[in-house]
Structure 1
Amino acid sequence: MRFGMSWPGREVAREAEQAGIAAFVTGDFVDHDAYLNLAEMVANTEHAMLGPAIAYAFARTPYAHATAMRQLHAQAPGRLFLGLGTAAYRINRDWFGVSADRPMARIAETAEAVRAWLHAENGEKIRYTGEFQHIDADVRAPVLGRLDIPVLLAGFNPRMAATAARVGDGIIGHGLFTDSWWNEIIRPATTLGTQQGGHERTPLEHGWIITAVDDAAPERAIADARRMIAFYLTVKTYDPFVAHHGWQEPVAQLRAAFRTGDTKAMTNAVTDDMLTRIAICGTTTEARATLTRRAANLPHDLGYLAPPSYLVSPKRRAAYAHSSLALLEDTTRP
């Protein structure tokens, strides 16, 4: 596999490219836009792959997703991929004011409609008809031409993983993913989705890896990784993952602590087993040993070394990004 990272800013990015980082990714939230950050990435990198991982699929039309990628492709040809995710139901309803029932069916159509725009040739109508999406565009200006930009879907549970392989070019795995979740749940699902789609290709595997390395303060790095895991696990969507690993009791504890605002108790509820199976953290030596142990069962194509973000300052996240570059040294990437 090759390693990427969430966008660390132009200063760290230059050093990261030289160190062997193969991709940079960005995403959406209330204080940052996936495509604006992607434009910054395009302008400040030379050869790394670049893409949203993820952009909120339903916050924009397929036209808007494809147009942004088409414009950026002109500046970084052959370096882009597009990662789309459904986002939580309440985010779609309360933030965007859009419908998000039946998210798998909706995102499947969104991916296909985005691809219709990306594959559009000059002089041909762009047509797509589904239950949720309808396109019948006659673009007379000669500004199109087929772009084969990979479209990946964020998938946590098996049905979404199968959808990602069926209608997309692959999957983007969550930072919580463990070896057994990849091998026993996700990969069988993507195999099924590939068969359902009638594809001969192997779906791409990208995925986030919670990474916090600090030789001067390893205890703080470990605490930040624990807190990030705890924050993720407050979401009930991940209950099948929790049950798969037998972590119901500590997750119940951390959710109770979260409801009362007790972040210390929430962090402490994350067990050593959860930490070692999910995160790469501690000193450089400890993190490198964990990475070596887990290397064969991380996402096959791109693993994003991702610093914790929950209650972690931008300055500290940048420091984690920089320190994670040491993990690339003497690391075998088959």
Structure 2
Amino acid sequence: MRFGMPWPGAEIAGEAEEAGAGAFCVGDFVDHDPYTTLAEIVANTDRALVGPAIAYAFSRTPYAHATAMRQLHATAPDRLFLGLGTGAFRINRDWFGVPADRPAARIAETAGAVRAWLRAENGAKVRYSGEFYEIDADVRAPVLGRLDIPVLLAAFNTGMATTAGRVGDGVIGHGLFTRSWWNDVVRPAAERGATERGAAERAARPAEHGWIITAVDDSAPERAIADARRMVAFYLTVKTYDPYVEHHGWQEPVARLREAFRSGDTDAMAASVTDDMLTEIAVCGTTSDAKAALAARSGALPADVGYFAPPSFLVGRKRRAAYARSSLALIDLVAADS
């Protein structure tokens, strides 16, 4: 597994790449566009794998996703991946003003239409025909040429993981993923999806990227642990993850943290995350604690790239940067487990 990081800024990224970090990713939100940030990442890194993890799939056309990646490829050939996610239904409806019903079917077509643009050859029409997209483009300018940039799909539950295996090059896992969720739910579903592909399109196995909640602070380990608890609690306020909660038998603590969330009590939210939940999900505490937690999760992490992600819920930029630097102490352990 490569040690990866959400983009920590050029200064920390330089230290990280020098120390052996092998990948950087960027998300998508109202204050940071993934492709603009990717241009910054490409300009400030030399060797690492880079890409969005994720870009909102439906907020842009397939053309827009592919064009951004094509332009970035000119500067960073063979270093790019494209991670797409559906986003929440209400975000698509209320923020972007776009339809997002039947998200698995819709993102499957989005991936296919993006690939049609990425794999377009000079002199040939760009064609894609589906339920949601109809493309018949005759691009006369000699600016195309096939690019085999991996397209990964964010997948949490079984249906989307199957879709990722069937139409994508792999899965981007959530920071909540545990050993059991990877091994018993996501991997089998992605592999089932992959068996539905034609032999020419089928890889040995779907690629696996994934986020890992990581908060390491030798001077204030209890604060780091509390920040990790709050991050876990915040994620679990989303009812989309109920199958995951039921799979682990965590209904009671999750009910408590959701009640605390409704009342705005963030301390009670964090306190509702049990020690067992935190051990299964996060890497936090002192450097020694984090190394022990990581060693205990050997074989239960994403197979290809793990993004060691500082908590962001109620954590300021300065402290997130400190967590990012502290996580570099884990690189050697990740490399040893690869």
1:257 equivalent among 241, 256, 260: 260
1 CA distance for matches of 2:116 and 2:187? 27
Q: Secondary structure at the residue paired with 2:246?
A: helix
Residue 31 of structure 2: aligned partner: 31
Q: Secondary structure at the residue paired with 1:296?
A: coil
Q: Deviations over 1:61-118 (max 9, x none)?
A: 0000000000000000000000000000000000000000000000000000000000
Residue 295 of structure 1: aligned partner: 298
2 CA distance for matches of 1:203 and 1:53? 16
Q: Does the Cα contact within 8 Å between 1:126 and 1:137 map onto a contact in 2?
A: yes
Q: Are positions 1:285 and 2:285 aligned together? A: no
2 CA distance for matches of 1:293 and 1:219? 20
Residue 42 of structure 1: aligned partner: 42
Amino acid at match of 1:180: S
Residue 2 of structure 2: aligned partner: 2
Q: Secondary structure at the residue paired with 1:59?
A: coil
Residue 237 of structure 1: aligned partner: 240
Q: Deviations over 1:135-156 (max 9, x none)?
A: 1000000000000000000000
Q: Secondary structure at the residue paired with 1:208?
A: strand
Residue 95 of structure 2: aligned partner: 95
Q: Secondary structure at the residue paired with 1:58?
A: coil
2 CA distance for matches of 1:240 and 1:301? 25
1 CA distance for matches of 2:274 and 2:333? 29
Q: Deviations over 1:174-211 (max 9, x none)?
A: 00000000000011101100111232531100000000
Q: Are positions 1:179 and 2:182 aligned together? A: no
Q: Does the Cα contact within 8 Å between 1:28 and 1:56 map onto a contact in 2?
A: yes
Q: Does the Cα contact within 8 Å between 2:111 and 2:167 map onto a contact in 1?
A: yes
2 CA distance for matches of 1:152 and 1:233? 23
Amino acid at match of 2:39: A
1 CA distance for matches of 2:263 and 2:293? 33
Name the Cα RMSD after superposition: 0.7
Q: Are positions 1:132 and 2:132 aligned together? A: yes
- C-alpha deviation, 1:2, in angstroms: 1.3
- C-alpha deviation, 1:329, in angstroms: 3.0
Residue 309 of structure 2: aligned partner: 306
1 CA distance for matches of 2:337 and 2:321? 24
2 CA distance for matches of 1:149 and 1:140? 23
- C-alpha deviation, 1:296, in angstroms: 1.2
1:321 equivalent among 321, 324, 331: 324
1:138-287 equivalence runs, <5 A: 138-198=138-198, 199-287=202-290
1 CA distance for matches of 2:131 and 2:337? 42
- C-alpha deviation, 1:312, in angstroms: 0.5
1:76-115 equivalence runs, <5 A: 76-115=76-115
Q: Does the Cα contact within 8 Å between 1:2 and 1:333 map onto a contact in 2?
A: no
Amino acid at match of 2:187: R
Amino acid at match of 1:328: I
Q: Deviations over 1:222-243 (max 9, x none)?
A: 0000000000000000000000
1:6-25 equivalence runs, <5 A: 6-25=6-25
Amino acid at match of 1:292: A
Unaligned runs of 5+ residues in structure 1 are none
Taking a change above 3 Å as real, the CA distance of residues 330 and 196 of structure 1, as seen in their structure-2 partners, is closer
Q: Secondary structure at the residue paired with 2:42?
A: helix
Residue 333 of structure 1: aligned partner: 337
Q: Percent identity?
A: 73
Q: Does the Cα contact within 8 Å between 1:255 and 1:266 map onto a contact in 2?
A: yes
Amino acid at match of 1:66: A
- C-alpha deviation, 1:295, in angstroms: 2.1
Q: Does the Cα contact within 8 Å between 2:291 and 2:333 map onto a contact in 1?
A: no
2 CA distance for matches of 1:121 and 1:152? 22
- C-alpha deviation, 1:330, in angstroms: 4.4
Q: Secondary structure at the residue paired with 1:230?
A: helix
1 CA distance for matches of 2:30 and 2:256? 29
Aligned length: 334
Amino acid at match of 1:209: I
Amino acid at match of 1:318: A
Using the size of structure 2 for normalisation, the TM-score is 0.98
2 CA distance for matches of 1:197 and 1:170? 13
Q: Secondary structure at the residue paired with 1:205?
A: strand
Structure 1 consecutive aligned stretches of length 4 or more whose deviation exceeds 6 Å: none
Q: Secondary structure at the residue paired with 1:329?
A: helix
